[in-house]
Structure 1
Amino acid sequence: MSNLTTQAGANVTKNRNLYVGGSDIPTILGINKYKTQFELAQEKVGIKPNEFKGNEYTEFGNIMEPQIRDYINAVNSIHEVHFKEKTMVDEERNIRSNVDGFDAEYGLLLEIKTHGKNLDTKPYIAQMQLYMWHLGIEEGWLALYERPDNFDTEFDPNRLQIEVIERDDEFIQKILNAIETFWIRCEFLKDNPNAAEQEFIDFGQNEVMIFAREVSKLEMQLAEFKEIEKQYKEAKQQLHDAMEAYDIKKYETDVVTVTRVLPGERKSFDSKRFKQDYPDLAEEYQKMSKTKGSVRIKVKEDK
């Protein structure tokens, strides 16, 4: 067994409080049994220091990671797969991704994990989804190396298995939303460093409640406006009919000038008929565009 130390690399720890990293994702999603989102936020905002400096498990992983990567590169050399470490930073979302391996030519991610007997891959897959989003790729390899009881660091290929993980855009959006909410809560914690954990968790919900009340108020005003608009259109039509009956072209008041517009014709494209007559051609000219997320509001009717 090698002499294991517990010093994390500088690329992992530098400015850690400024970013969310892949290892933070399980905590933010609530699937990390060792740390809560509240505890992570306290570390990010500087209320409590991150006292974890590593242990024999993490150091074993640090020692084995390059060996595992080199082995995978070697056995896949016939396909010219060559994984290299890579770091990406999204300053807008405050996300930093340190990946164990990336092959740019094949657009392939490699995530290496050493584990014990009780294996749970959910946290690893969550990390990989963030990395695939950050890299803009569709697939990754999850390399799982079972740790021997004596922590022997001599590489044994029989302990290695690889799972192919595909990109899940729905899951990725959930992760990005959770990160955004986490940073909002961190801002709340900065302003309220003595806040309890439940206050921290409820903050996002309270913010939703505030906006929901505002939207409800505006929605009711909008409903009133629609009724006014209906009355306006009816009055406008009555005005037109009266001006037409008495052949009045223009009428002025102190505040408005009303001009009667004579009926006429205009051309328009009948897209419905075009689709019916030329379905294949219409399909060829269809354009796909992205839409922003939104909320749908429905006013409840009085019972």
Structure 2
Amino acid sequence: MRAESLVSTIELSRQDWLAYRQKGLGGSDCGTIMGVNKWKSKFQLYLEKTGEYVEEVNNEFVYWGNTLENLVAKEFELRSGKKVRRRNSMLVHPEHNFMMANLDRVVVGEKAILECKTTSAYNLGEWEGDEIPAVYLCQLQHYLAVTGYEKAYIAVLCGGNQFIWKEVPRDEELIEIIIKNERKFWEENVLAGVAPEIDGSSAATDLLKKLYPEDNGETLMLTNKEDQIIEALEAIKSELKELEMLKKKYENQLKMELEEAAQGLSPKYVVTYKAADRNDIDAKLLKAEAPELAKKYTKTTSVRTLRIKEVK
């Protein structure tokens, strides 16, 4: 069965494109649902799909993303000897209409797609050998599920000067897992209007900072549910203090063994304990002797701090 075209993207504005994306789950959503996307939580994805949150768009980011996509696609043609073309449509799975796909390119003469990426040189290690970041692997298998194609190619420009391309075969077992998890998220969360539980990821923390940057000065009455959360949090804090003390104990035992030695060797480990100079600005002295200069380079930011105090 072939994927169906939901809408042509040739003259589709970005605003309309985003509106259509709310009608289902795209390839870039797959990694979030599968729990391998460190940049976005399922809670944020739920808010986006229900229209409760719209992520800010950096026009420069969009511009360079499109520009470099063309460059990566052309370089893939040169290095692989294959030809690619655009598929100017938003596609929908023939059976699972919550699964959509916006393909970068399709490969001419093959039942295959090409996904184009750019990344920092710091991420080069994630592409060594046969490795592909899990979030992109999920994206590719999502696209293969929607299109019914046999394989995918992914091409990435790392740090602006290292080009890598790889072939990824269709993985039916992973596709089944993806469909199951995407269906659950779409039906039990998005359609049901039930937000998934917020997690402890840095992505979720950053989202809360964006959603609620300031307090309104009001007092909100909490319930037994929040009391249970607080009790669990306080128990964890107590355990962390104990673990931190235990950690320091073991560190001090090693320091005692090393004494003045810079390094210690065991059959299994190398332990170093070296002195190093560190330059810090004495903020107190700077404010006292050069208050205007200190004021000029002082940045004020608003930070909300969560504190818990037991009522007696």
Q: Which residue of 2 aligns with 1:51?
A: 55
Q: Which residue of 1 aligns with 2:32?
A: 27
Identity of aligned residues (%): 26
Q: Which residue of 134, 139, 155 maps to 1:143?
A: 155
Q: Which residue of 125, 129, 138 maps to 1:126?
A: 138
Are residues 1:89 and 2:89 paired? no
Q: Which residue of 1 aligns with 2:186?
A: 183
Question: How far apart are 1:185 and its partner, in Å?
Answer: 2.4
Q: Which residue of 1 aligns with 2:273?
A: none
Question: How far apart are 1:70 and its partner, in Å?
Answer: 2.3
Moved more, 84-93 or 63-72: 84-93
Partner SS for 1:176: helix
Provide TM-score, normalisation by structure 1: 0.52
Partner SS for 1:144: strand
Question: How far apart are 1:82 and its partner, in Å?
Answer: 2.8
Which structure has the larger Rg over C-alpha atoms? 1
Are residues 1:65 and 2:69 paired? yes
Structure 2 distance, partners of 1:106, 1:67, is 21
Q: Which runs of 5+ in 1 are unaligned?
A: 1-7, 149-157, 199-303
Provide TM-score, normalisation by structure 2: 0.50
Structure 2 distance, partners of 1:177, 1:127, is 15
After superposition, the Cα gap between the structure-2 partners of 1:163 and 1:41, relative to the gap in structure 1 and judged at 3 Å, is same
Structure 2 distance, partners of 1:84, 1:68, is 13
Structure 2 distance, partners of 1:181, 1:188, is 10
Amino acid aligned to 1:38: F
Moved more, 160-169 or 102-111: 102-111
- Give yes or no for contact 2:49–2:190 (8 Å, CA) kept in 1: no
RMSD, matched Cα: 2.7
Partner SS for 2:103: strand
Structure 1 distance, partners of 2:58, 2:99, is 22
What are the superposed Cα offsets for residues 175-197 of structure 1, whole Å, 9 maximum, x if unpaired?
0001100012224652x57x854
Query: Which has the bigger relative contact order, CA under 8 A and spacing at least 6?
Result: 2
After superposition, the Cα gap between the structure-2 partners of 1:72 and 1:24, relative to the gap in structure 1 and judged at 3 Å, is same
Q: Which residue of 2 aligns with 1:114?
A: 118
What are the superposed Cα offsets for residues 96-150 of structure 1, whole Å, 9 maximum, x if unpaired?
10111112521121111101122542111110011112222222111011134xx
After superposition, the Cα gap between the structure-2 partners of 1:175 and 1:41, relative to the gap in structure 1 and judged at 3 Å, is same
Structure 1 distance, partners of 2:138, 2:45, is 17
Structure 1 distance, partners of 2:192, 2:151, is 36
Structure 2 distance, partners of 1:55, 1:26, is 24
- Give yes or no for contact 1:145–1:160 (8 Å, CA) kept in 2: yes
After superposition, the Cα gap between the structure-2 partners of 1:188 and 1:137, relative to the gap in structure 1 and judged at 3 Å, is closer
Partner SS for 1:109: strand
After superposition, the Cα gap between the structure-2 partners of 1:73 and 1:196, relative to the gap in structure 1 and judged at 3 Å, is closer
After superposition, the Cα gap between the structure-2 partners of 1:187 and 1:100, relative to the gap in structure 1 and judged at 3 Å, is closer
Partner SS for 1:53: coil
Q: Which residue of 2 aligns with 1:165?
A: 168
Q: Which residue of 12, 29, 46 maps to 1:41?
A: 46
Q: Which residue of 2 aligns with 1:253?
A: none
- Give yes or no for contact 2:26–2:101 (8 Å, CA) kept in 1: yes
Structure 2 distance, partners of 1:18, 1:86, is 18
Number of residue pairs aligned between Structure 1 and Structure 2: 177
Amino acid aligned to 1:146: C
Partner SS for 1:132: helix
